Amino acid sequence: MEHTHYITSDVLSIEQIQQIISQNFKLALSEEAKINIQKCREYLDDKMQSNENPIYGINTGFGSLCNVKISNENLSQLQENLVKSHACGTGDYVPQEIVKLMLLLKVQSLSYGYSGVQLLTVERLVDFFNNDILPVVYEQGSLGASGDLAPLAHLCLPLLGEGEFWQKGRKVNAKEVLKQFGWEPIVLQSKEGLALLNGTQFMSAYGVHILIKALKFSWLADLIAAISLEGFDGRKEPFNELIHYIRPHKGQIVTAKRILEFLEGSEIIEREKIQVQDPYAFRCIPQVHGASKDALDYARKIFKTEVNSVTDNPNIFIDSDVIISGGNFHGQPLALALDFLGIALAELGSISERRTYQLISGLRGLPAFLVENPGLNSGFMIPQYTAASIASQNKQLATPASVDSIVSSNGQEDHVSMGANAATKCLRIMNNLERILAIELMNASQAIAFRKPLKSSEFIETFLKSYRTEVPLVKEDRILHYDIENSVTFLNSFQLDESIFE
C-alpha cells in the first residue's frame, strides 16, 4: 500500500521524517502549501513590475557583487548562471539516503511561501523524490554560512537539465532522465536560483540522518553495555534509582532504568559478587551514556526547529509588504549541534572500547582474550586493537568544526559556520560507533558464554540467540574481520519500535 505525506505548515517531527524515509512515503503539496507558494510568487512578480530599486539577489548580483544591478530582461539568465556557477562540489558522493532527505527538507522550506519560487519548481523537486531519482551531490564545497551553496547547486542542477541523477544504482545524465519522464527543463524566474541555493538542507539532512541512527545506537549501546556487565560479572547497585534521583539528569535516569530492565530476571546479576566495585566503564554507564543522551536531545530540538524553518535569503513577507535580506542561511546553530552530537557519539565509542578492554584482560574468571587455550589461540586480542584505533580516530574527528571560520566572497561573507564539515565528520563518527559497538558485542557475547550454566535475563538470552545465528561462538582462532562485518550488519538490521524516539 502506497503512503503519502502531505507537505503542510504543521510541524514536521524527526519521527515523521524517519517514517517517510523508512516506509517510502510519496510526497504531495497540500492545497495550503500550493496557495502559499503561488501567492508569494505573484507578489514578487507584481513587485518587480512596479519597483526598479535594487533588491538583493532578485535584480542584483550575489555575495560581494550585491551592488551590481541587473536589468529585468536578464533576471532569468542571472538565476541560471547562479546555479551553474555555484555547482563547485567535489570529493565523495553524498549518500543517496541523505540526498533524498535534502529534497524533502528543501520542499518543506520552500512550501511556507516566503521564498518566491514557482509552484512548478517545487513540484518538480517532489517528482524527483517520488520517482527516487536523486541528484548527484558531493560532500565538499559548503562553508555552512551563505547556505549550503555548492551541495544545493548540485541538488538543483537537474531542474535545468544539467548535472546527473542516481537512477536504479547508476549515474545518468539529467537531460536523459528529464526526457524519459517527459519533463521540460525549468526556466528559473527572478529570485528562484537564490531560493534554491540559499538554505541549510545539506547540514540539516545530515543532522536528521545521523540523529535517527544515533537514537537507535544509543539504545543498542545500553543493551550491549548490559551484556558486557553480565559477561564481566558486574554489580547492579550502580543502577539503583536512588543514586540517580539525587543527581537527576534525564539521560542518566533513563539509562539506569533501561539497564535494570534489560537485566530483569538474570541469574548472573543476582548471584553473590566477590568484587566490591566495578571499573568506571561499567559503574558509570548511566552517567556517561546519559550525558550523550542529553546531548542527543539538544541536537534533536535544534534540528526539529531547523527543518520547520525558512532558511533562504532574502525573505518575502506579503502581509507586511516587505522583502528583507538577512542571514537565516547561516548554519551556526547546526554547526554547534553537529559538533556536540559528534562528541556525544565519540564518547559512547570511547567507553565501549574500555569495556571491551576489560573483558579480554583475564579478570574475574574469564580466560585471557576470551578463548580457550590462550597462547595457541590469540582469541579476541586484536579486535580490541581495532576498536581502540577507531575510538582514537573518533576523538580526532570530534574536534569542533564550528570554532573555525575563513573569510569568503571578497570579505562580504566574513564569518562562516563550517557546519557542513561538522556534518560530514559527525557521520563518520556515527559509522565508526557502529563498528566499535559491534566489536563490544562480539566480546560481551563471548564473555557471557563463560558464565554458563548461569543465565542472563530472558530478553538478553533471546537477543544473543538471534545474534548467534549470524556470528557463532569463537572456539578457536578464525578470521574475525567477517565477524565484525556480520556484527555491524546484525546491529543495523535489528528493528526497534518507535519508543526510541520518546
- CB neighbours of residue 367 within 10 Å: 17
56 noted as active-site residue: yes
Give the distance from CA 427 to its chain's centroid. 6
* Residue position matching grid coordinates 551484556: 227
* Residue position matching grid coordinates 535516569: 253
Q: Is 502 exposed, middle or buried (0-12, 13-18, 19+ CB in 10 A)?
A: exposed
Q: What radius of gyration do the chain's Cα atoms show?
A: 26
CA–CA separation, 370 vs 473, rounded Å? 11
Nearest 5°: CA angle at 441, between 374 and 469? Answer: 95
The SS3 call for residue 346 is helix
* Neighbouring C-alpha atoms within 13 Å toward the C-beta of 177: 26
Q: How many distinct helices (H) and strands (E) make up the chain?
A: 19, 9
Cis? peptide before 314, omega within 30° of 0: yes
Looking at the DSSP bridge assignments, the partners of residue 172 are: 165
The SS3 call for residue 369 is helix
Which of the 8 DSSP states describes residue 185?
P
Q: Which long-range contacts (CB under 8 A, 24 or more apart) does 121-128 make?
A: 121/159, 121/186, 121/188, 121/192, 121/196, 122/29, 122/33, 122/37, 123/29, 124/159, 124/183, 124/186, 125/156, 125/159, 126/7, 126/27, 126/28, 126/29, 127/181, 127/183, 128/103, 128/158, 128/165
Cis? peptide before 453, omega within 30° of 0: yes
Looking at the DSSP bridge assignments, the partners of residue 171 are: 166
113: left (phi over 0), alpha (psi -120 to 50) or beta: left
Contacts for 408 with CB less than 8 Å, ≥ 6 apart? 63, 143, 145, 146, 414, 416
Are 355 and 228 in contact, with CB atoms under 8 Å apart? yes
The residue among 78, 55, 102 whose CA lies nearest residue 315 is 55
From 6, 43, 56, 206, active-site residue:
56
63: left (phi over 0), alpha (psi -120 to 50) or beta: left
Are 322 and 375 in contact, with CB atoms under 8 Å apart? no
CA–CA separation, 231 vs 456, rounded Å? 9
Give me the active site residues, please: 56
